[in-house]
Amino acid sequence: MNTKLTLRMDDLLVREAKTQAARRGKSVSRMFGEFVAGLATSRRPPDAPPITGSLVGIMRGHRVSEEDYKKHLREKHL
C-alpha cells in the first residue's frame, strides 16, 4: 500500500531532487523511498563519511596484528 507523504524543503533542494530523479528516470518519490530503504539496510555508522562507511567490515574474518600494520607502514613510507 502506498501512502502520501508531504515534505517541506528548500526550493533549491526540491529542484535538485527533481533534476536528479529525471536523470535517473525515476520519480522523486521512488528515489526518496530507495534512499530511505538504503539507510535501513546500511551497515555504515550513521555519522561516518561515505568513504569511511564503505570500509566498515572490509577486514571481517581476517587476522591482522599490530605488527602487520607496522610492517605495512614501514614498507609504505620507506
- Average pLDDT, stretch 7-30? 94
What is the widest separation between alpha-carbon atoms in the chain?
Answer: 61
- Tell me what the pLDDT averaged over the chain comes to: 87
All residues at 6 or more sequence positions from 29 whose CB lies less than 8 Å from its CB, including other chains: 5
The 10 Å Cβ neighbour count of residue 44 is 16
Q: Is the pTM of this model over 0.75?
A: no
Residues 46-67 pLDDT 10s: 677 888 878 878 888 888 899 9
Lowest mean pLDDT among 22-36, 45-59, 63-77: 45-59
